[in-house]
Structure formats: structure tokens, C-alpha cells
Chains A and B, each alone.
Chain A
């Protein structure tokens, strides 16, 4: 299935060449997880602070569970905050 991966702030550097700004589309299998995708792009897991699947926060344990369905968006940030 196809999903969209968005890597923001300092993580954008890990996106493959030819990606759109901060995002790329990719094919994933049913048993893939947020962390396995991070591995695919060599993103250090400790840098994945905020992990959102379709805008909903993935708890740390959920990041190692298969959650994807067709058309999903996985968005990831390093530690960030604002006000």
C-alpha cells in the first residue's frame, strides 16, 4: 500500500533525493511499523519525538506495531515546542 511520509524540522535531511518539501510517498507492507520506516531512511529513533499517524499521536509502543492502511500519512518531528 502507499502512504505519505513527512519528516519535519531537522529530520528533513533524511528524505531521499527527489522528495517534495518535507514529504515523500512510499510503498509499505502490512507488517511495517513507524520505526521500521525510520530504519529504512536511517532516521535515528531517538530523534523521533513526535510521531503522528493521520494527525493522531502514536504512543511509543505503537511505533513498533503495524498500523498502516492505504493513504495514511505518517508525520515525524524531533523534539520541538513553541508557544
Chain B
């Protein structure tokens, strides 16, 4: 019973708030968070609806273990239809607000309609109110956070907000909570802005006390924490170096997408790596990295807290950026750095700060800037577009300016806010866009790591590493090593990662635990917390059900198997030019038919009736 069994339905058009019971039959089939909220969404909206229209809904959802004593039990997700992809969106975030919503007594909040004027939702336990946000509109996430805290005179309120980029229609806008954690991908912040909803502010004092079997839960979570502490990756590697340690790893294996994925190794990787973040700067003797940081209930603490060199050109006379803030994670560092050819650590950190300050996804932003740089070098955009700035690859000034523009929607920021696909189409070079289903790639080149290419192509939310992180196996050897250049066996590997991840994303736990935990470690914690029988096998079945449900939504929205593809640059036109994968492209065509087969889908990628029946869909 770790669910609170309460849903808050907020009709923004009418300004009404209504409490309703959680559908426990669905909870048994979809668990919580990603799975359960997606079930609500697919039951309640037309998949063909305009993602930015009032008919789309947006669900902020916790998992059954959110707010409990389970390690990393602080996650929440935002589920909606994506304006970037037209597909299902589910963006997951840590920080502290997930716990606060749950501890206020709510499993999820469903937003529907569109408010006639800007509002924010204030939750204080059972007290839920829509309050005017006219004074917050036009403010950054950081300003809105401060204003809301000041207004309520309560420093313990946790806040998730959108920034100016979302208000200006940036299609990859994020929802940022606790200043620098984000439900980052697929434009969930843009949906929030379309509803005139500026923020959610929550204060929960109830805790999560309704655990099915407290003694068993205590035991299971303690055992889980021990595994995390004793595992060298979650106990030592991630806390000390963060995800950014992958910068040199992935560069060394020749899978570092560089300069809009024209190359697979970046000569400047070392300068923007985790190791570089630890090195004292020439100017002030301080390293970029101040400390690591943890989200609610986390015993890993992979987060980065950083500063920018006060003498750096990006922050001259801007003391508001001189303090500590959320530093570079690997995905941001890659997109802002290597993909743009920028090896300036401070410039990348500055752009990352701005992504947090005004709420947009650094992966999609960096990839879109990279596409703009290629358009610039091809002559398709000129200095007339870029306010006279040289937009060639490697320009830290261009990167910093691009972030300033996207933050406010000024200048070229409107075009950059379109995302890579629409930008490249607008300027006559759709082949420059490195996207799947309209969403920009993460930090692993599919030419050098074959399985991740299949994971990108088949991801239900467009190109994404977190829908099936085969890097764990193909590069890091977790749970066992597979050859990154081999296609054999990757269909099964991708399916296994996708299904298991969908289950983990439905618990309230962080997927990073799976560097140490398997579902055999997670299931006992869920089982002790929740009513019903939650074995690892059942969780895997729930994961597969979720995956197929998301697939069904996408197909009903108009996507087909033809959208399970990669840009020709990666499969045909441009082989890797260095490293172990030199001369290779991604052999998606070898893997995709097998993937459909192991999924129980038709050769066109449609779940068969038999598969649907088996999964109870």
C-alpha cells in the first residue's frame, strides 16, 4: 500500500481541483509512475490530439517507493504527449519535489485543459490550490523559485517550474525542479507552458507511512543499500566522478558523436571530462567541481555541483553565475561540448547553467546548436541569422550566445528552439538532423556501439539512451560484457533493457541503481511496500506491458514501423572515420527484423493480437 491511493485532478480551464481514488486495478498491472500514469494518459486522451492544445493532458506522477526509505526513492515523472515527437513523453527527474508531492498525500496530479491566465499549483498536504502566476510569467525558473518561496515564507517548499524558453515555445523545454534537476526530455515543459501552468509548489508533512509490510521493507531496503554501497560503481565510481567519467571512456572506444555526428572521436574530450572538472583552474586555483550531490533518499550521489571561473568571458560582470550550481553531467557535456566541437569547460558549464535557469534540455539544445553549426558551415545560415557571430564548430562564443537566445526566445533563439529536425528542414538540409522521431540523439554513436542504435531507433520517445541503456553491457560490462561492434544478440539485449527499465521507471527509484541492482534486488523492496505479489518476473512482465502500451499509443498517434529508423548519416552515408569502428556504419537493418520478432510484433512493427493478449492489453 505504498500508494497513497489519491489522485489530484486539476482542470485548468475551469480552475477546479478534484480528489479521486487511484485505480488500484491498474496499479496492479502498471505499478506506478511511468507505467501507471501512461495508462491514465492513454485512457484519457486522443493520441492524435495537438500536444500543445487543451486536449492534451500532463501528469506529474510519483512511484510507490517515492518518498520511502528505499535508496534513491525520490523520483517523479511527467507523462504527456510530446510536442517535439508527437509520441508518448515520459521524463523522469530526481531532486526533492517527488517526495514532497507524495508526502503531501498524492500519487499523481493530472492536469487537463488550459488556464485562461498564468497559474501555479500549490500543494500543502490535502490543501491544493491554483494560485495566480501573472507575476511569475516571464521569469526564469530560478526567479520563479525565489518568488514562490518568498510569497509563502516557507523555505521547505519544493518547486518545479518552467522558464522563459517554454513560454517562448521552445519545443524541448524542460520542467526544472529544485533549481537544477529536470524532467528534461521531449518538451514536457512546453506542454506545461501551453497550459499556462508556471509551477508546482509542494510541501508534504505526512510522509509515506502506509507500507504493506514495514519490517520486511526495512530489511529489503537495508539490503539494497548495502549492495549499492559495496558495489564499486555505485559506491565509489559515480559519487567521485559522476556520469562525466564516460567522456574519456566513450571517446576512447570511438563512439563519441562529434561535430553533429560527423566524427566519432573528439580531440578536446579530455578538456571537458570528469577528470578536467577535478583539476585546479589557472585563474583561481579552484576546480570546476565543488562537490557531488544527492537527490532525495539517494545513497549514490552522482550529481555534480560546479562553479564557473569568474574571469571567463561568459560570466564577466554577471555575478549571478559566480556561485555553485548544477554542473555538467555526461549527456550535457557531450551535447554542449563534443557535438558542437567546443572544448571550453567553462563555456559548457555556463550553457548548462542557462539550461537549468530557463528550463530546456541540454541534449536537444546542444544537438540543435550542432546542427546549426553544420548549417552555418554549409552556408545555409549566415551571420545575418546569428547576429554577426561566427557559428562555426568549436565556437564557445556561439554556444554561449545560443543558450542566451534560447533562454529568452530572442534573436535566433526562436529557430534554435525548434529543435534539430525542424531547424534543418527549415533551412533546406533535413539530412543534417541527427534525430529519431524528431528527438535529438544522446551521447553514444551508434556506429561504434551497434545495440544502442537499435535502442535509439525503437525508443518510444525518440532517440534516447534511458529507454534501454545497452551501454551498460556493450561498454561497461554490466551485467555482462557484449561486443559493441557486433549486431548478433542485440535485439534480445535491447528488449531486455527496455522492459526492465520500464519497470524500474515505474517504482519511484532511480535507474542508476541498476548498475548494481537487478530486478531481483528491487522486487523485494516493491513487494514489501506494496500489496500484491511483486516478483522480479512480474516486474519484467509489467515492463513489457508498459513498453507495448506506449507502442500502441504511438501507433494510434500516427507513427509506424518506418519511424523506427536512424539518420542515413549513421547507417549509410558517413562511416566512422577513426577508432575501433573505423569504416563502419550502424547495421540497423540486420537487427530490426529480429527485434520485432522477439517483441512478438509483425514484420511491420505492430504488436500482434497474440502479444496483446499475452500482456493483457
* Residues of chain A whose beta carbon lies under 8 Å from any beta carbon of chain B: 6, 8-10, 12, 21-22, 49-50, 52, 54-57, 59, 73, 75, 77-83
Contacts and interface: CB of A to CB of B under 8 A. Distances in A.
A8 B241 CA distance: 10
Interface in B238-290: 238, 240-246, 248-249, 252-254, 270, 274-275, 279
A55 B241 contact: no
Given A8-B248, A83-B331, A55 B580 contact: yes
B242 A82 contact: yes
B466 A83 contact: yes
A56 B38 CA distance: 40
Contacts of A56: 253, 580
A73 B265 CA distance: 15
Given A8-B248, A80-B233, A81-B478, 12 more contacts: A9-B274, A21-B279, A22-B275, A56-B253, A57-B253, A59-B481, A78-B237, A79-B231, A82-B243, A82-B249, A83-B466, A83-B511
9 cross-chain pairs, A with B, having the tightest CB-CB distances, nearest first? A82-B243, A79-B232, A82-B246, A80-B237, A55-B580, A80-B245, A81-B515, A81-B233, A82-B330
Given A8-B275, A83-B466, A57 B481 contact: yes
Given A79-B236, A81-B515, A55 B252 contact: yes
Contacts of A59: 481
Given A82-B330, A83-B465, A83-B466, A50 B243 contact: no
A49 B579 contact: no
B141 to A, nearest CB: 23
A4 to B, nearest CB: 11
A56 B483 CA distance: 9
Contacts of A8: 245, 248-249, 275
15 contacts: A6-B252, A9-B241, A10-B240, A21-B270, A49-B477, A50-B476, A50-B477, A57-B477, A57-B481, A57-B483, A75-B252, A80-B233, A81-B245, A83-B471, A83-B511
Interface string B340-364: 0000000000000000000000000
Nearest to A49: B232
B94 to A, nearest CB: 12
Report which residue of A6, A22, A50 has the largest number of chain B beta carbons within 10 angstroms of its beta carbon.
A50
Contacts of B477: 49-50, 57
Contacts of A78: 232, 236-237
A22 B481 CA distance: 25
Q: DSSP majority for the B interface? A: helix
B393 interface: no
B245 A77 contact: yes
Contact of A83 (B231, B232, B248, B469): B469
B252 A80 contact: no
B240 to A, nearest CB: 7
A77 B515 CA distance: 16
A4 B249 CA distance: 15
B512 A83 contact: yes
B133 interface: no
B237 A52 contact: no
Given A8-B275, A22-B270, A81 B580 contact: no
B510 to A, nearest CB: 10
A55 to B, nearest CB: 4
A81 B481 contact: no
Given A21-B275, A79-B237, A82-B330, A9 B252 contact: no
Contacts of A9: 237, 240-241, 245, 274-275
Report which residue of B471, B472, B476 has the largest number of chain A beta carbons within 10 angstroms of its beta carbon.
B476
A50 B245 CA distance: 12
B37 to A, nearest CB: 22
A82 B238 CA distance: 7
Contacts of B512: 81, 83
Contact of A79 (B233, B242, B253, B279): B233
B135 to A, nearest CB: 37
A80 B274 CA distance: 11
Interface in B439-487: 465-466, 469, 471-472, 475-478, 481, 483-484
A5 to B, nearest CB: 13
A63 B475 CA distance: 17
Interface in B220-235: 231-234
A57 B448 CA distance: 13
Report which residue of B233, B466, B469 has the largest number of chain A beta carbons within 10 angstroms of its beta carbon.
B233
Contacts of A75: 248, 252
A81 B275 contact: no
Given A54-B580, A59-B481, A80 B249 contact: yes
A77 B249 contact: yes
Contact of A80 (B270, B329, B469, B476): B476
Interface in B506-538: 511-512, 515
A59 B483 CA distance: 11
Nearest to A79: B232
Contacts of B233: 79-81
Nearest to B443: A82
A77 B475 CA distance: 12
A49 B553 CA distance: 41
A8 B242 CA distance: 13
B299 to A, nearest CB: 15
A80 B231 CA distance: 10
Contacts of B236: 10, 78-79
